[in-house]
Structure 1
Amino acid sequence: MPVRAPLLGPALLAAALLTACGTTPEPDARASAAPSPTPTPTASPAPRTASLGGPGTACDLPVSFSLTEDWEPTEVEPPADPDFAELIRQGPATIVCEAKAEGSSDIGFLRVWTAPKGPARATLDAFVKADKSKGTTLTDLKVGGVPAVEARYSVYSELMEEWRDGRSFALVTAGGVVVVELGGLDSGEDEMVAAYERVKSTLKVS
């Protein structure tokens, strides 16, 4: 008895006929109508930061802290001519490092000063008074887990012929008193104040 080939079902038969004619079967409409997966929203990246004050950074300081990356730090070298030594001094303090707000339209800077050992409050008060300030308010606080004092005041800008906001804080370290100052023509702007507050919140005593 001859052996019969197995019978093809209707769907397989149709596919075989289409393939034989050189035609590819249409995809299932239900599959093509399936919704595309919804992309997962991504959070905005946090501002990148740079460390300052530690080994290998731009300035060798008795403290270390974090700066937003657009702030460019530079070590301040003592002038070769001693007649210009007063240019890097303010009251009892000497400037050792400066960071400028390079990535902003605002004009501002953060300066780190050091002074001989002594009470932080007296050092900061003398530092601020040497800048021809007015309306100074001193507040005790802790920065980097150690006692510190902060000053808020107004400083007169001879260039702009107006008063601008100024703020700074001081704390005692093994290397003497460190004063961190926020200055510049736009020191009262939110972006400038945020950079100063970042220093306060990330500062560590070496």
Structure 2
Amino acid sequence: MSFDLAATWVPRPVSNSVDPSGGFRQGPVTLACEIDTKPAGLVGFLRVWSGPKTDGSARQVLDAFLAGERDISDRHDRPTVVGALSAEETTYLSAGLEPDEPRRERALALTTPQGTAILHLGGLDTAEHERLLPAYELAKNSLVVTAPHS
């Protein structure tokens, strides 16, 4: 898949060879790349997770992914469409740096003929998350699923 990035956001591949035990795995997906927001003066990441093709729904993939998160609350799911694909999106609160200051996060799950994918947006805190949202929406709204290279 591909999508547009906000100006100065920098994509970086993630090498799973750093942790051969699969430490970059969460539920059914493996961390594929992350887009660093620091060059834009923000603190956060847009992470892309990918996994194998499944007979399950985008909601099931999202549920399995979130099962790997700690201390989530105030979860709000909604079905959505990305391009021609049905998807499932959620916002939720997770444990922040301070115990009494949870932070807002967002995730979007897709199932495609090639496999599954999750876009996950996290920031330093909820205020930073809000500043990152326009770039997340740009990625989501420009997302295109491409055929595998042969």
TM range (shorter): 0.7 to 0.9
1:111 aligns with 2:111: no
Partner of 1:68: 6
Partner of 1:202: 142
| Structural mapping, 1:2-41, within 5 Å | none
Q: Secondary structure of 2:105's match?
A: strand
Partner of 2:80: 141
Q: Which residue identity lines up with residue 130 of structure 1 in the other structure? A: G
- Deviation by residue 1:121-180 (Cα, 9 ceiling, x = unmatched): 1010121231122222211010122111101111102x3333100101011123211100
Partner of 1:171: 110
Q: Which has the higher contact order (CA 8 A, sep 6+)?
A: 2
1:77 aligns with 2:15: yes
List gaps (5 residues or longer) in structure 1.
1-62
Q: Matched residues, percent identical? A: 38
* CA–CA distance in structure 2, aligned partners of residues 82 and 191 of structure 1: 34
Instruction: Please say if residues 154 and 166 of structure 1, whose CA atoms lie closer than 8 Å, have aligned partners that are also in contact.
Output: yes
1:152 pairs with one of 80, 91, 94: 91
* CA–CA distance in structure 2, aligned partners of residues 187 and 117 of structure 1: 33
Q: Secondary structure of 1:204's match?
A: coil
Partner of 1:89: 25
- How many corresponding residue pairs? 141
Deviation at 1:108, TM superposition (A): 1.1
1:98 pairs with one of 24, 34, 39: 34
1:123 aligns with 2:23: no
* CA–CA distance in structure 2, aligned partners of residues 109 and 178 of structure 1: 16
Q: Which residue identity lines up with residue 84 of structure 2 in the other structure? A: G
Instruction: Please say if residues 114 and 177 of structure 1, whose CA atoms lie closer than 8 Å, have aligned partners that are also in contact.
Output: yes
Q: Secondary structure of 1:64's match?
A: coil
- Deviation by residue 1:77-120 (Cα, 9 ceiling, x = unmatched): 1124524x22x111221100100112333311100001222321
* TM-score (norm: length of structure 2): 0.85
